Structure 1
Amino acid sequence: MWKGWLIKESLENNSILSELKIINSAVERNIEGDEVQIWHLNTVEVDDKQIGKIASKLEKLMKFGYYVHFTDYKKLLIIFRGKRFLIELEKVIKEKEFGAVEFKARSKDLKLWKKAFDYGTAKGKVDPRYIIKVM
């Protein structure tokens, strides 16, 4: 079973939410300077058999400036618009109410994490402050 954290406003089309098992939801006010954004956060579960199909759909549905991540606590799947990365984990270091936010990757996968970070902040246009931490 994979657990993911998805912001509704990150999607071009939110119909995919009906394909996911939503286990928790909340609304968050995110303030950037003078701008207030309202985010609808969803903690979701995806069956092992469905994660590839869901990941393919999310690659097409994610808006630039956002990403989503899923973990089965052995691997970390990070999905940006147009690309995804699968990183082998040693462990989850930090978990918050809405999910895991800090990970320890296997040493061989740290370069892959760097590629994911570089892709996400360049082509994915994600603010680096919002990308999860992988060590």
Structure 2
Amino acid sequence: MTERLSNTANQYIGAAKQTIGQTLGYPDMAADGARQKSEAETAQKVADAKAQAERLQHTAENSANSAVGGAKQAVGQTLGLSGLAAEGAAQKSSADTQQKVEDARAQVHGAEHELEGKIKQKVGDLTNDQSMKVDGATTEAQGTLQRNV
């Protein structure tokens, strides 16, 4: 979350520098602002991709643990091995609970994206930055999609 806030702040600061530089006729300031904004956007895309990869990995691990736990439970019940059945039930329950936590994190992450997108659109309006407005709309839509999946 701290990285997201830092990247977002740098995007806004960069956009402001770019706008001020363009408005007041300071091309170096405008270029520096554009660079800062672009670097922050790229850093956030990289951070988002890493987070998505981690979520997918956790989901795969949870699914595998749930399936293995369910299989242990079924085999234990079928063969009358109560210890194996209990171990399987516990493994399955733990994996299912961990997946619910991952799903909740995805909901929060989606809500963050929605809010971030709305803020970017407003900042884009204030600075007359079309690319930030478009990025904001895209970010908001991404958040909505994450919350609905």
TM-score, normalized by length of structure 2?
Answer: 0.26
* Structure whose alpha-carbon radius of gyration is higher: 2
Structure number with greater CO (CA < 8 Å, separation at least 6) is: 1
